[in-house]
A and B are shown apart, each in its own frame.
Chain A
Amino acid sequence: MLFKIAWRNIWRNKRRSLITLASVAFALFFAIIMRSMQLGTYDQAYSSVINATTGYMQWQGEGFWDKQSLERSFSPDSLTWQQIEQDESVEALLPRLESFALLASDNSDTKPGFLKGIQAPLESKYFKLDEKLLEGSLPSASNNGVMLASGLAENLKIKLGDTLVIIGQGYHGMSANGKYPVVGIADLKNPIANKSTVYLNLQELQYLTGAYNQLTAAVVVPTDPKDLYALKNQLQSYTDTTATDLMTWQEMMPELIEAMEADSAGGLAILFILYLVIGFGIFGTILMLTAERKPEYGILLSIGMSRGRMALSTFMETAFLSLLGIASGSFLALPIAMYYHYNPIELAGDMDAMMEDYGMEPLLPFSLDSSIWLTHGSIMLIISLILSLYSIITIYRLNPVKAMRR
């Protein structure tokens, strides 16, 4: 019956309850939409950068990340390659050789470029490289050509079938010069990578630079990318780490995380203000409700209802009201978040340019991570329940005679 009383009490003043419910629902709706957009954008940015650059985690030659040079490449023999690949937490291990060079074509000035020697089938399988292909094919041992990022191809004014000239420095002071046919052009979904990357077959780049059987990275594809630090410790436990470093993407690109965290903090500050405003709204309702009910609390105390039961009933009433608001806000936000998750907002103009500067795709996809709903629903519920303490304290301090006299 306590449940029944609490539920029916909500509807004693329908208008007030509906306004409170709507304010909770609105706050949650706004919070979810905002966080869904923010976190979705971050996920997109992370995945764009991770996929186009380092992967989630990679083995590198010792000190390579601080000074990215072929001189700090490593031999795959220094890794227990097979054992790492067989680890249940590892989906695959992808060899890469990366270097820098000057690029030239018939039709343009020389441009700096980032050479990436890869095994195309593996990159396609785990990083969907084939899906990024706009025209032509991926570099392979058979075609012995290069695949250019679309922005770079545009800057070099080079087309499929044209020849790319590479002038660079190889391993141990060798020169690394070569002419390659452009066999493919790809949109790498990452503005910075799109302006600089040239893909070659791994063996071809090793040949070009004279870094035979050398790698600059062995990219670890984890089965679950959520807990990379645990995976890192696990992998390091059975690998000799004197010649190699194992780095997560967070360690390689801390500035990316810092930028996202700074942006996120701004969003959270806005949400804090929103929760504060809504919290005062809810408190107003609880204040009025408590003042109105004092005589009734006095009667209930007189006839023998314990203060604990009365407090529980009041607590349930606030919880029901909040939960109704939370459910409404959550359900309202869901279709909108779903729509923009599958149809991300495409930015244009200055925003587009700004996103590109950060190396991200100018897209705002919404996140459907259930933790957003859970976190903000819980915050709203906790705020309401903390505020209901006012009624509970009033009940515990109530003098029945004085309360009934009102």
Chain B
Amino acid sequence: MSVIETQNLSRVYQDGDSEIHAVDKIDLSVEAGEFTAIIGPSGSGKTTLLNLIGGLDNPTSGTVTVEGKPIHQLKDNELINFRLQHIGFVFQAYNLIPVLSARENVEFIMLLQGQSKQERESRAKELLQAVGLEQQMHKRPSELSGGQQQRVAVARALASKPSFVLADEPTANLDSKSTEDLLDIMHKLNKEEGITFLFSTHDQRVIDRAERLIYVEDGKIKSDEKQ
């Protein structure tokens, strides 16, 4: 069953008199449990495509369906709630809440979902253990390395038990060791817990580990192959 499906999806930006087709009539389907990377040069439309799939941006035309729900039709507050319940996000710049500890960052999203304190605490511990940060759970982001922060971001993305995780260039700011560690964790979560991951990247190390590669250029899918 498709977790994500786009049909004829386009996003056009106006730049003075000219139009920029950041995403141009893309048809895409992502199945549950996939470990997929969207690749392509800078400015090819990877991030825009991810934003449209994640409901962060509105398409100019076309449809985005997540778990059978046409999210392009949702209102702002419905979209926010949809993201909270169904989508996990990992950003290039980690983007943790600086005033909360690692555990609180992971718990925060569950708090927004209205989960009980006990539930939140035990799942946050479990997730931080899964990403190898049980010893650092009381540290704030500023006390963690980039790799550690990104692992917390992965734990946070999974905390809400999402249908899939969108990761926008998650390794762009990481060194080789941290990248390998992060990919190991995500791959393990994908294999053992069946979590669907969709990356945008031009990092060869991620490309090498991805099981499906979607090559995007000028807003269009140029190739889509499994490896």
Contact = CB atoms under 8 A, between A and B. Distances in A.
Interface of A: 1, 4-5, 8-9, 12, 295-296, 299-307, 309, 400-401, 404
B99 A8 contact: yes
A404 B169 CA distance: 14
Contacts of A306: 77, 80-81, 112
A303 B99 contact: no
A305 B91 CA distance: 16
Contacts of A309: 112
A1 B109 contact: no
A237 to B, nearest CB: 59
Contacts of B97: 5, 296, 299-300
A304 B83 CA distance: 5
B56 A9 contact: no
- Give the 5 A-B CB pairs with smallest separation, nearest first: A304-B84, A8-B99, A299-B95, A304-B83, A400-B56
Given A5-B100, A305-B112, A299 B91 contact: yes
A321 to B, nearest CB: 14
A299 B111 CA distance: 16
24 contacts: A1-B100, A1-B104, A1-B108, A1-B111, A4-B99, A5-B99, A8-B99, A296-B97, A299-B91, A299-B97, A302-B54, A302-B83, A302-B89, A302-B91, A304-B85, A304-B113, A304-B160, A306-B81, A307-B76, A307-B77, A307-B80, A400-B56, A401-B51, A404-B91
A303 B108 CA distance: 10
B24 interface: no
Contacts of B109: 303-304
Contacts of B99: 4-5, 8-9, 12
B80 A304 contact: yes
A307 B107 CA distance: 19
A305 B107 contact: no
Contacts of B100: 1, 4-5, 8
A210 to B, nearest CB: 86
B98 interface: yes
A309 B112 CA distance: 9
A303 B89 contact: yes
B107 A303 contact: no
A139 B77 CA distance: 83
B72 interface: no
Interface of B: 51, 54, 56-57, 76-77, 80-81, 83-85, 89, 91, 95, 97-100, 104, 107-109, 111-113, 156, 160
Given A12-B98, A12-B99, A301 B80 contact: yes
Contacts of A304: 80-81, 83-85, 109, 112-113, 160
Given A299-B91, A304-B80, A1 B107 contact: yes
A8 B111 CA distance: 17
Contact of A404 (B80, B81, B83, B95): B95
A4 B51 CA distance: 30
Contacts of A300: 97
A302 B157 CA distance: 11
A5 B140 CA distance: 13
A303 B56 contact: no
A401 B156 contact: no
Contacts of A404: 91, 95
A327 B95 CA distance: 34
Contacts of A12: 98-99
B15 to A, nearest CB: 15
Contacts of A295: 95
Contacts of A9: 99
Nearest to A304: B84
Nearest to B156: A303
A304 B89 CA distance: 10
Contacts of B108: 1
A12 B160 CA distance: 27
A303 B77 contact: no
Most buried by B among A4, A299, A303, A404: A303
B75 to A, nearest CB: 12
A300 B156 CA distance: 12
Given A1-B104, A401-B56, 20 more contacts: A1-B107, A1-B108, A9-B99, A12-B98, A295-B95, A302-B54, A302-B56, A302-B89, A303-B84, A304-B81, A304-B85, A304-B112, A304-B113, A304-B160, A305-B84, A306-B77, A307-B76, A309-B112, A401-B51, A404-B95
A305 B80 contact: yes
A306 B114 CA distance: 13
A337 to B, nearest CB: 37
A157 to B, nearest CB: 79
Contacts of A302: 54, 56, 83, 89, 91
Contacts of B80: 301, 304-307
Contacts of B56: 302, 400-401
A12 to B, nearest CB: 6
A401 B100 CA distance: 23
Contacts of A301: 80
A306 B56 CA distance: 13
Contacts of A303: 83-84, 89, 109, 112, 156
Most buried by B among A1, A9, A12: A1
